[in-house]
């Protein structure tokens, strides 16, 4: 179940999107989030959808995996869609049974909101699916660079983030192992009344904490031994490489914004 | 209790970009009361096979028959609890599963989950602590205050307390000092004999496999490529090398000796004691021949 | 005579200075190690080996006695200087992998020491070549085997070109092949660079390969000497939770079985050699 989730994971590859500079991709996503709110009629929403699928196409991530891996997100999507359908009134009454009445405006809003939600999830997923965690951290560290002046510990934050990301697969494995070990001892997670379920989590959480602390301690030792003492005087091994395609991608997005703006009502 | 793996295939993370095939058409028969060692290069699928033995993993292809029960891809979770009580599993670094306030409570966790009474569970815990050579006062201590070797023993006691019919061991002695290693392996063997357990051991130590097992299975790239008696499996050096394994030290020494002397010993030496006996015999015969 | 690279003088350390009832993790320990030696440090679980390793590079400071390394006495001031000249590899391959990929991890110590970028690229390649992992530059840790991870960890320690490498049970979580890979790597490194190695291990076969063995028991030094000297004490080691190398165990078993083996043999080949001489003489 857990292993099917692809939200936040990285699939190595060699597409146009994979090769983009992480800084460009991060800027792209933030800009895109803003642009989504420009759309306000059927045409602009359709354009938004088309643009998103174009990006998915460029990333060479199979749509099937994307849809399959984001299933939990779709449940949320259907829920918001329903909310709008049932509670937004306005325009013609389309149909009604019992106390439920569906209006034209409700349906419209429901569809629009869903599209907005969908494209946001798709585009952010494409960012994480095509960019290794370390590149994302690098990108963020450089983009946040100017904030060092106001004493924001940018380097420490970035390092913390990259280490957490590095340990996610390890901790996931660990959780699986401990879960199995306790299941083998007859602990029954995921059935029975709530109180029993909460109790059943304890044998899972305690070993997880213990081992996470142990790992953190070992890691701190390993870092100290290799001479780590904060960001001061450190040099960087990773150098980012901003190319023409990165500039072009951002320009393309700006162009697209202009088009959306033109067609919006 | 017999366990039968029939054409078992398993893929981790089925139907995702991360899908990883770990087993192909595995057939293994583990007869009741046997001591089976599963050996193989790292990543060959040993641990994956083990987890099928008590239905922690359900095969994505084929089926596993555990005693009376058959488990395949469609088997529902409810029926698996009973299997898990009968098949106890000691994972690698089992001390990682300790969680309770006291050693006593931790050992009682398994039995209580399966509906054993408090008194009975506590009786078992007291008995096991003694059997595993732990001082009696550890029962009231927190498991996290113990040394690494002691924690390992407590975790093992936690599995044994369920009184399983089948005991499944995944490299149970990794990281222990030589003495601790020998004591624990001897203990498992003693239990195997005394309680008539069916034992399955995954190990990287050819010496342990040769010493304790009466059946050996070789895993290679997700397939079970050979099963047989230790003497047959370990005397076939070419096959072992093909699967990136080595014969046990005793056999390597025996071969060196045979080569140097230009003679052949009568039987294959699976243990150090057997090797000493075989060599002594060769000397005796050599003397008589003169 | 070679120079002393690491020395302990009457070192005592306890994790619980307030609780007198707990025996110190390390007590009255003295030894010195010469440049270029290969030392094996053995002892039962909890005998203080890892504590010694931590004292060696200033992760811990002794309550009594003195630790000196590279001609410097260990102190808050000399600490970083000493550390930059020694590498350390630990037991658990997963818990010491700092970087997100192989090359990031190897570069970590270089980044910390402010090595310029061009130099880093060269050194990362060089260290990875030394452990034969140069093809794995962009691999992520969870896609490597245990032995490969440990070799990357060694490369990470080598990148700073240390004079001393400390291995704390670096092979104990590995399969036999992974263990062989690592030991072989260390051997070649020593030939190539004359590196001093201190290896903490439970594997007596591995210890038998060292120049000198230090045996620990309950926080104290039990014995120190060449493998021959140490293993000659025989069954004494077994009572300390240790064991003898296979060839020596066989020698003893053969004697019990009535075969008159004269020598004490550390390796199988030596044993077979004696058996052969003996056999053919009759
Ligand atoms: N949770 C998992 N998700 C994905 N792949 C996995 C998982 N666990 C194991 N694998 C893969 O399945 C294959 C078999 O792994 P398994 O752990 O059974 O090997 P093993 O023989 O026990 O190895 P080792 O001797 O190193 O313990 C390996 O290629 C491994 O990478
Ligand atoms: N962080 C700690 N806090 C308190 N006591 C500790 C700590 N680490 C180790 N000890 C104790 O110090 C003693 C020596 O431990 P150390 O880890 O040095 O042993 P070791 O020889 O490395 O053992 P192993 O072979 O199991 O790795 C043990 O009695 C141990 O319980
Ligand atoms: Mg395994
Ligand atoms: Mg240690």
Residue among C175, C254, C271 whose CB faces B42 most closely: C175
Task: Say if CB A3 and CB B12 are below 8 A apart.
Answer: yes
Task: Say if CB C188 and CB C226 are below 8 A apart.
Answer: no
Predicted confidence (pLDDT) per residue in A92-132, tens digit: 777 777 777 788 888 888 899 899 999 998 999 899 889 88
pLDDT at A1 over 50: no
Mutation target for C interface from B211, B279, B282, B289: give the one with most C CBs within 10 A. Answer: B279
Q: Where are the domains of chain A?
A: 2-131+241-263
Q: Kindly list the averaged pLDDT for each block of 10 residues, start to end, along chain C of length 282.
A: 87 91 92 95 92 94 95 92 92 85 91 92 92 87 83 91 92 83 88 92 91 95 93 84 89 88 83 82 62
pLDDT-based confidence at A141, cuts 50/70/90?
confident
Residue whose CA is closest, atom 5 of ligand 2? Answer: C15
Residue among B18, B91, B162 whose CB faces A181 most closely: B91
Least confident range from A145-154, B151-160, C75-84: namely A145-154
Least confident range from A202-206, B159-163, B286-290: namely B286-290
Average pLDDT over residues B13-31: 90
pLDDT at residue A195 in the model: 78
A47-54: long-range contacts (C-beta < 8 A, 24 or more apart)?
A: A47/A256, A47/A259, A47/A260, A47/A263, A48/A115, A48/A116, A48/A119, A48/A260, A49/A115, A49/A118, A49/A119, A51/A119, A51/A256, A52/A118, A52/A119, A52/A122, A52/A123
Residue B96 sits at the chain A interface (C-beta within 8 Å): yes
Quick one: which H or E segment has residue A226? none
Cα A122 from Cα A77, distance rounded (Å): 13
Say yes or no: CB of residue C46 within 6 Å of ligand 2.
yes
- Architecture label for domain B3-247: 3-Layer(aba) Sandwich (3.40)
Q: Where are the domains of chain B?
A: 3-247, 248-290
Distance from CA of A124 to the nearest CA of C (A): 21
Chains that touch C (3 or more CB pairs under 8 A): A, B
Question: Is A223 close to C95, i.e. CB distance below 8 A?
Answer: no
Q: For chains A and B, what is the number of CB pairs under 8 angstroms?
A: 73
Compute CA A72 distance to the chain's CA centroid, rounded to the nearest angstrom.
13
Among B143, B144, B146, B148, which residue has the most ligand 2 atoms within 8 Å of its CB, making it the best to mutate? B148
Torsion angle, alpha carbons of C158, C162, C164, C170, to 10 = -20
Residue A69 sits at the chain B interface (C-beta within 8 Å): yes
Task: Specify the pTM.
Answer: 0.84
Say yes or no: CB of residue B22 within 6 Å of ligand 1.
yes
Chains that touch B (3 or more CB pairs under 8 A): A, C
Say yes or no: CB of residue B244 within 6 Å of ligand 1.
no
Mean residue pLDDT across chain A? 85
Contact residues, chain B, for A210 at CB < 8 Å: 96, 98-99, 144
Span from the CA of C12 to the centroid of ligand 2 (angstroms): 14
Residue B285: other Cβ atoms inside 10 A: 12
Contact residues, chain A, for C160 at CB < 8 Å: 226-227
């Amino acid at each position: 179940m857990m292993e099917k989730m692809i939200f936040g994971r990285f699939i190595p590859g060699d597409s146009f999107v994979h090769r983009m500079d992480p800084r460009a991709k991060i800027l792209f996503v933030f800009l895109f989030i803003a642009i989504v709110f420009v759309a306000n009629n059927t045409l602009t929403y359709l354009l938004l959808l088309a643009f998103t699928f174009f990006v998915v196409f460029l990333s060479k991530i199979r749509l099937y995996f994307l849809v399959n891996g984001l299933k939990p997100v779709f449940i949320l999507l259907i829920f918001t869609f329903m909310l709008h359908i049932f509670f937004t009134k306005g325009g013609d009454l389309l149909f009604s049974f019992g106390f439920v009445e569906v209006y034209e405006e409700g349906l419209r809003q429901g569809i629009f909101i869903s599209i907005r939600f969908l494209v946001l999830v798709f585009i952010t997923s494409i960012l994480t699916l095509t960019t290794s965690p370390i590149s994302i951290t690098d990108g963020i560290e450089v983009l946040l660079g100017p904030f060092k002046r106001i004493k924001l510990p940018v380097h420490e934050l970035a390092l913390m983030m990259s280490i957490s990301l590095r340990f996610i697969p390890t901790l996931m494995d660990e959780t699986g192992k401990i879960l199995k070990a306790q299941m083998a001892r007859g602990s029954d997670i995921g059935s029975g009344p709530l109180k029993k379920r909460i109790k059943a989590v304890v044998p899972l959480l305690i070993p997880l904490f213990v081992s996470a602390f142990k790992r953190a301690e070992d890691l701190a030792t390993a870092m100290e031994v290799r001479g780590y003492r904060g960001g001061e005087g450190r040099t960087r091994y990773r150098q980012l490489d901003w190319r023409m395609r990165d500039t072009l991608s951002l320009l393309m997005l700006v162009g697209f914004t202009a088009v959306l703006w033109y067609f919006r009502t | 209790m017999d366990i039968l793996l029939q054409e078992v295939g398993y893929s981790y993370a089925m139907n995702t970009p991360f899908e990883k095939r770990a087993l192909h058409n595995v057939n293994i028969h583990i007869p009741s009361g046997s001591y089976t060692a599963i050996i193989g290069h790292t990543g060959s699928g040993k641990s994956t096979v083990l987890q099928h033995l008590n239905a922690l993993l359900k095969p994505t292809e084929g089926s596993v028959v555990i005693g009376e029960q058959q488990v395949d891809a469609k088997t529902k979770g409810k029926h698996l609890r009973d299997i898990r009580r009968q098949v106890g599993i000691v994972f690698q670094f089992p001390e990682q599963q300790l969680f309770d306030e006291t050693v006593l409570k931790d050992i009682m966790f398994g039995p209580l989950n399966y509906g054993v009474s408090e008194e009975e569970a506590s009786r078992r815990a007291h008995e096991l602590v003694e059997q595993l050579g732990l001082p009696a006062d550890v029962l009231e201590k927190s498991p996290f205050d113990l040394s690494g070797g002691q924690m390992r023993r407590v975790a093992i006691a936690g599995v044994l307390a369920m009184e399983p019919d089948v005991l499944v061991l995944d490299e149970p002695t990794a990281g222990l000092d030589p003495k601790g290693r020998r004591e624990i392996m001897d203990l498992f063997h003693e239990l195997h004999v005394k309680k008539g357990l069916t034992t399955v051991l995954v190990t990287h130590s050819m010496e342990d496999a040769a010493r304790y097992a009466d059946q050996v299975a070789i895993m290679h790239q997700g397939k079970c490529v050979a099963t047989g008696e230790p003497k047959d499996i370990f005397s076939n050096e070419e096959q072992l090398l093909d699967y990136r394994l080595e014969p046990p030290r005793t056999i390597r020494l025996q071969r060196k000796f045979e080569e140097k002397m230009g003679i052949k010993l009568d039987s294959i030496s699976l243990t150090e004691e057997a090797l000493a006996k075989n060599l002594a015999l060769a000397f005796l015969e050599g003397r008589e021949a003169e | 005579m070679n120079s002393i690279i690491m020395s302990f003088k009457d070192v005592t350390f306890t994790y619980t200075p307030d609780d007198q009832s707990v025996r110190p993790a390390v007590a009255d320990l003295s030894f010195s190690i010469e440049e270029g030696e290969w030392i094996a440090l053995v002892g039962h679980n909890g005998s203080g080996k890892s504590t010694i390793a931590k004292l060696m590079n200033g992760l811990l400071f002794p309550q009594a006695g003195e630790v000196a390394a590279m001609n410097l006495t260990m102190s808050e001031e000399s600490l970083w200087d000493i550390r930059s000249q020694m590498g350390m590899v630990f037991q658990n391959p997963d818990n010491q992998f700092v970087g997100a990929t192989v090359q990031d991890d190897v570069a970590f110590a270089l980044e910390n020491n402010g090595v310029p970028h061009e130099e880093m690229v060269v050194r990362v390649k060089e260290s990875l070549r030394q452990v034969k992992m140069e093809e794995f530059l962009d691999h992520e840790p969870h896609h490597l085997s245990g032995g490969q991870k440990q070799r990357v960890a060694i490369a990470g320690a080598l990148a700073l070109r240390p004079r001393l490498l400390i291995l704390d049970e670096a092979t104990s979580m590995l399969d036999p092949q992974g263990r062989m890979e690592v030991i072989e790597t260390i051997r070649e490194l020593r030939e190539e660079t004359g590196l001093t190695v201190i290896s903490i291990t439970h594997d007596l076969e591995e210890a038998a390969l060292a120049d000198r063995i230090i045996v620990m028991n309950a926080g104290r030094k039990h014995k120190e000497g060449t493998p021959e000297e140490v293993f000659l004490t025989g069954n004494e080691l077994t009572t300390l939770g240790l064991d003898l190398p296979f060839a020596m165990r066989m020698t003893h078993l053969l004697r019990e079985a009535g075969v008159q083996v004269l020598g004490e043999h550390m390796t199988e080949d030596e044993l077979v050699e004696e058996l052969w001489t003996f056999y053919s003489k009759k």
